[in-house]
Amino acid sequence: MSTSREDHLHHISQQFNSDLSKLRTNFLTMGGMVENQIVKAMEALENHDYELAEETRLKDKEVDQLEILIDEEASRIFAKRQPAASDLRLVISVLKMVSDLERIGDEAKKIAKFVFSDFDESGNLVSTPRGYVEARYIAKHVTSMVRDALDSFSRFDTQMALRVMKEDKRVDEEYKVAARSLATVMMEDPRNITSCLSIMWVLRALERIGDHACNVAEHVIYMVEGQDVRHTPMDKAEKVVRR
Amino acid sequence: MNTLSENVLSGIDYASISRKNRSRDIIFASLGIFVLFIAITTLVALFLDLAMRGAPRLADPDFYTSFPSRRPLDAGILSAWVGTIMVMVVTAVVAVPLGVAAGLYLEEYAKKNWFTDVIEINVSNLAGVPSIVYGLLALGLFVQTFGMGETVLVAGLVLALLILPIIIVSTREAIRSIPSELREAAYGLGANQWQTMSMYIIPAAKPGIITGAIVGLSRAIGETAPIITIGALSFIAFLPQSPITGDFPFISFEWLNSGFTVMPIQMFGWVSRPQADFQITAAAAGVVLIIMTLAMNALAIYIRYRARKS
Amino acid sequence: MSANEMATNRIGQPARMRAQSERPSETREHWYLEPEGTLRARVSNLKFWYGDGTQAIDDVSMPLVDKQVTALIGPSGCGKSTFLRCFNRMHDLYQGVKYSGSIKLLPEDENLIDLDPNIVRMRVGMVFQKPNPFPKSIYENVIAGLKIRGISKRGVLDEIVETSLRQAALWDEVKDRLDQPALSMSGGQQQRLCIARALAVQPEILLLDEPTSALDPIATAKIEDLINQLSGKVTVLIVTHNMQQAARISNYTSYMYLGKLIEYNETDSLFTRPMCQRTEDYITGRFG
């Protein structure tokens, strides 16, 4: 039984309806926060904006709090309502996706930290602009993935979720290409190694964010279709979503 | 939102309602006690009056062991109580198996159609037929048509007919009061109808059936009209033949064909005598009859009580 | 073609389908899984009318998997208890009832509806909603079914009493007071006694009609545990109004609504991923 977004609001128990919609709202709020975090972290990195970086780091505390809150709400629903079928899948997916969102927040925090490592002890900018272009490009990519994954959740849109999963493969490719070119730069001039390594970590963090967005998309498909598409080939996942 | 109802409810004085209800309870309870008091007092007064009047004869052991006599102070109730017991035995032997079987059939086996409906209505109607009509039936059928004479057997049969509806109805009630869960449990285990009946339903309904039978018999014990109608004697100076004999086969059914009297007839006979002393004897016999009836009712209550406890 | 497949085709069931290859749909009215494993019975197009002419079961077809627990769920009045009681012909105690279709016992291929109801009840045991032990001793209760079948050898009876009470997880509680009245036990114990009584005659199918609805949560948990233990040994068909209970104890679940079977599925699938909208609405507590 695949479900649509309105299904969770038609229980005989009004309280159950509001519990579930609160869970969804909180989850989407948290999603908006981490999405914002990625954008802010990248902005801080590009502009060497200390304050913004600090702000992004502090924002993570709020995300963590929200994660705890959502976990509590979900376990309360389990204890009191014993959700079944689509409700069960909704709560389970939210529980799992929440930890993906939290990781995305952590990765954004990591990126924000590299703003500080851009400078050496004497306060000079050490990095070369090398790798930044790739990072900016991948960041844009994964940010839209996160946004799409969240949208697919709020609209119960499995087609969109499937696109997110496909995007992740491309992000992986882009990451590999960028990493290879950075390796070349490092081999050319060992003085570049420190700065290249930092940007490498940023790329790595972005790639991880893409993975987490992909996880969210997979959970959305499970939530709507009731079939687990994790660790399955793409064509099988496509079959599940096919209308 | 519901201010209107709130206002209405806030104007209520709960204490006064409660007081009013309580006083109604008290009025009703006192009325009930008053009525009950009248009933019990009447019964006790009647019984005491009889006992006091009959006291001289009740205290005399010869009263229980001698035959009726022309001299009021020698007259006893031996033939009457022996006759009563014998008639009751016949009544019980005939009415209980027939009544229980009929009740069982109607309740469990009979298909529900217009025919069983007719039978059902008739059984209820029979319970309301005046007892003297049964006497007339017995007179016409048993005494005159079959030429059976005015015997213990005929008396027992007519009383059996009289109480048959009571036993049938009480048997059906007893069976109907068995919860259907018990029945389904038995059928669910694969029991057939006979097994269900004999192993589970009848044992469970037994207290109710026995109580019904005893209540029926205690009604029969006091019946006068049908027995007079068939022509029972009020002066019998002999006992029917003993059912147990000294010779082989040690059991005799001669007593069934013997003439007899019963307690109510004996009383009736004495009451209609002119001598004042016979009134004393009649009162004493009345006390014995009441005690016999009460004893049977007590037995019924005891059986019900024991059944409820287990 | 597997044996199972042939069996299904023979009586006109759809060829076997697996949950994994089927897509759920909003528009599907009915959905039947064709289970793997041997079947104990198969119901085909069963219809049932009460004496007053009301039709309580409307064209129900479903399999009953051997030695597995199958649960029937559905809102009050959906016919699930009526359906259960067709299996031991309990309705035949009342006048004017009518069946059509078949409940075939497998592998004998005998139609329950054509057999003598008495013989059916000897083969298909039942436990009722309210514990209904006979007003006799515990021992007498367990052997009641054996007595009805004319078994009276003391040694045999003793042995069966012990094994049945053990199977019903009651032996340790009552072994020292077998001669005491069954009605002196607690409600939960009485119900387990009723299960032991039904098990004593080794029924081919055991029917349970809301067996825990009159019991408290602890007694309920004990009965559920017992049913879990029976899974794999006895073919059980249970009606329950408690969906969580069905989810906990059964291997297969049927959802019935208005006398029709809406969905028959593996319990795990039915409760996480029902195939019909109406099943979904019922188990998630939505407006029907």
DSSP codes of every residue in chain A: ----TTGGG-BS-HHHHHHHHHHHHHHHHHHHHHHHHHHHHHHHHHHT-HHHHHHHHHHHHHHHHHHHHHHHHHHHHHHHH---HHHHHHHHHHHHHHHHHHHHHHHHHHHHHHHHHTB-TT--B---STTHHHHHHHHHHHHHHHHHHHHHHHHT-HHHHHHHHHHHHHHHHHHHHHHHHHHHHHHH-GGGHHHHHHHHHHHHHHHHHHHHHHHHHHHHHHHHHS---TTS-HHHHHHHH--
**Chain C residues touching residue B185 (CB < 8 angstroms):** 128, 132-134, 194
Q: Which of B184, B199, B200 sits opposite C90 (nearest CB)?
A: B184
Please say which residue of B41, B59, B77 terminates a domain.
B59
pLDDT of res. C115: 93
pLDDT recorded at residue C10: 33
Q: Is C148 on the interface with B (CB under 8 A)?
A: yes
Q: Are residues B189 and B265 in the same domain?
A: yes
Q: How confident is the model at residue B265, as a pLDDT? A: 83
What digits encode the pLDDT tens for the residues C94-111? 888 999 999 999 888 999
How far C273 CA sits from the closest chain A CA (Å)?
Answer: 5
Of the given ranges (A43-52, B21-30, B245-254, C52-61), which has the lowest mean pLDDT? B245-254
Number of structural domains found in chain B: 2
- End residue of a domain, out of B28, B43, B59: B59
Residue A123 has pLDDT above 70, yes or no: no
Same-domain status, B72 and B216: yes
Q: Which residue from C minimizes the CA distance to B109?
A: C93
How far away is chain A from the Cα of C18, in angstroms, using its nearest Cα?
13
For chains A and C, having 3+ Cβ pairs within 8 Å is answered yes
- Over range B76-87, report the average pLDDT: 83
Query: How many of the other CB atoms lie within 10 Å of CB of A12?
Result: 12
pLDDT level of residue C11 (50, 70, 90 thresholds): very low
Residues B188 and B50 in one domain: no
Q: What value does the mean pLDDT take over residues C233-252? A: 93
Amino acid identity, position C4: N
Alpha-carbon span A61 to A57, nearest angstrom? 8
> What was the pLDDT predicted at A239?
86
> In this predicted model, what pLDDT tens digit does every residue of A3-28 receive, in sequence order?
776 777 788 888 999 999 999 999 99
Q: Which residues contact C286 (CB under 8 A, 6 or more apart)?
A: A7, A10, A11, A12, C280
Indicate whether B149 and B26 sit together in one domain.
no
B72-84: average pLDDT: 80
Instruction: Give the per-residue pLDDT at B120.
Output: 86
In one letter, which amino acid is B179? Answer: P
Whether residues B77 and B24 share a domain: the answer is: no
Task: Say how far apart CA A53 and CA A42 lie, in whole Å.
Answer: 9
| Band of residue A129 on the pLDDT scale cut at 50, 70, 90 | low
Task: Give the pLDDT band of residue B81 (cuts 50, 70, 90).
Answer: confident
Domain membership flag for residue B1: no
Q: Which of C29, C284, C287 to mutate to test the interface with A (most CBs of A within 10 A)?
A: C284
On whether any CB of chain C is under 8 Å from the CB of A193, the answer is: no
Query: To the nearest whole percent, how much of chain A has pLDDT over 70?
Result: 93
Contacts of A1 in chain C (CB under 8 A): 24-26, 273-277, 279-280
- Please tell me if residue C248 touches chain A, with a CB cutoff of 8 Å: no
**CATH assignment of the domain containing B177:** 1.10.3720.10
* Average pLDDT of the segment spanning B273-284: 83
Predicted confidence at residue A188, as pLDDT, reads 87
User: Tell me, what's the pLDDT at C19?
Assistant: 40
* Chain A interface disruption, residue of C245, C266, C279, C286, most A CBs within 10 A: C286
What is the Cα–Cα distance from C256 to C278, expressed in whole angstroms?
10
Q: In this structure, is residue B4 part of a structural domain?
A: no
pLDDT given for residue B54 in this prediction: 83
- Which range has the worst mean pLDDT, A87-91, A120-124, C50-54, C74-78? A120-124
In this prediction, residue C250 has a pLDDT band, given cuts at 50, 70 and 90, of very high
Question: Which range has the worst mean pLDDT, A81-85, A193-197, B27-31, C227-231?
Answer: A193-197
Q: Which of C26, C274, C285 sits opposite A16 (nearest CB)?
A: C285
> Is pLDDT larger for residue C26 or for residue A228?
A228
Residue B297, in any domain of the structure: yes
Q: How confident is the model at residue B234 (pLDDT cuts 50, 70, 90)?
A: low
| Per-residue tokens: C223 | 């009965």
- Considering only residues B276 and C269, tell me which one the structure prediction assigns the higher pLDDT: C269
pLDDT in tens, A149-192: 999 999 999 999 999 999 999 999 999 999 999 888 888 888 77
Q: Quick one: average pLDDT of C174-196?
A: 93
Query: Which range among B248-252, C25-29, C201-205, C281-285 has the greatest average pLDDT?
Result: C201-205
Is B206 part of any domain? yes
Closest Cβ–Cβ partner in A85, A226, A240 for C284: A85
Contact of C115 with chain B, judged by CB distance below 8 Å, is answered with no
Q: What is the pLDDT of residue B144?
A: 81
Q: Which residues contact A58 (CB under 8 A, 6 or more apart)?
A: none
Q: From A224, which residue of chain C is nearest by alpha-carbon distance? A: C273
pLDDT at B243: 67
* Interatomic CA distance for residues C32 and C16, integer angstroms: 9
Residues A91 and A19 sit within 8 Å (Cβ to Cβ): no
Q: What is the mean pLDDT of residues B42-62?
A: 86
Mean pLDDT, residues B97-117:
88
| pLDDT at residue number C4 | 42
Residue B82 pLDDT grade (very low, low, confident, very high; cuts 50, 70, 90): confident
For residue B131, the surrounding DSSP H or E stretch is helix B131-138
Q: Do A1 and C244 touch (CB under 8 A)?
A: no
pLDDT of residue C27: 64
Of B101-105, B265-269, C142-146, give the lowest mean pLDDT range.
B265-269
B30 and B123 share one domain = no
Indicate whether B74 and B23 sit together in one domain. Answer: no
| Residue C134: per-residue pLDDT | 93
Q: Is residue C162 within 8 Å of residue C156, measured between CB atoms? A: no
Q: What average pLDDT score do residues C222-235 get?
A: 92
Q: How many CA atoms lie within 13 A of C93 on its CB side?
A: 21
The whole-number pLDDT of residue C25 equals: 56
Fill in the DSSP letter of residue B307.
H
Looking at the structure, tell me whether residues B123 and B262 fall in a common domain. Answer: yes
Is any Cβ of chain A less than 8 angstroms from the Cβ of C181? Answer: no
The predicted pLDDT at position C7 comes to 38
Residue reference for tokens 């019984």: B47
Res. C213: pLDDT tops 50 = yes
Domain assignment of residue B176, yes or no: yes
Q: Is the pLDDT confidence value at B71 over 50? A: yes
Tell me if chain C has a CB within 8 Å of the CB of A79: no
Residue A69's pLDDT is what?
95
Q: Quick one: B150 and B24 in the same domain?
A: no
Assess whether B149 and B264 both reside in one domain.
yes
Model confidence at C5, in pLDDT bands (50, 70, 90)? Answer: very low
Q: Do both B41 and B74 map to the same domain?
A: no
Q: Does one domain contain both B51 and B74?
A: no
Q: Which of C241, C273, C267 is nearest to C254 (CA)?
A: C267
Residue pairs between chains B and C whose CB atoms are closer than 8 Å: 61
Query: Does residue C255 sit at the A interface (CB-CB below 8 Å)?
Result: no
Residue C3 in this model has a pLDDT that exceeds 50: no
Give domain status of residue B212, yes or no.
Answer: yes
Most C CBs within 10 A among B189, B196, B202, hence the mutation to make, goes to B189
- Domain assignment present for residue B7? The answer is no
Of C128, C149, C198, the CB nearest to B184: C128
What is the domain extent for residue B199?
61-309
* pLDDT score, position A126: 56
Nearest CA in chain B to C194: B185
Q: How far apart are the first and last CA of chain A?
A: 13
A32 interface with C at CB cutoff 8 Å? no
Whether B70 maps to a domain, the answer reads yes
The string of pLDDT tens digits covering residues B143-193 is: 888 877 778 888 888 899 999 999 999 999 999 999 888 999 999 999 999
- Do B and C make contact via 3 or more CB pairs under 8 A? The reply is yes
Residue A71 pLDDT greater than 50, yes or no = yes
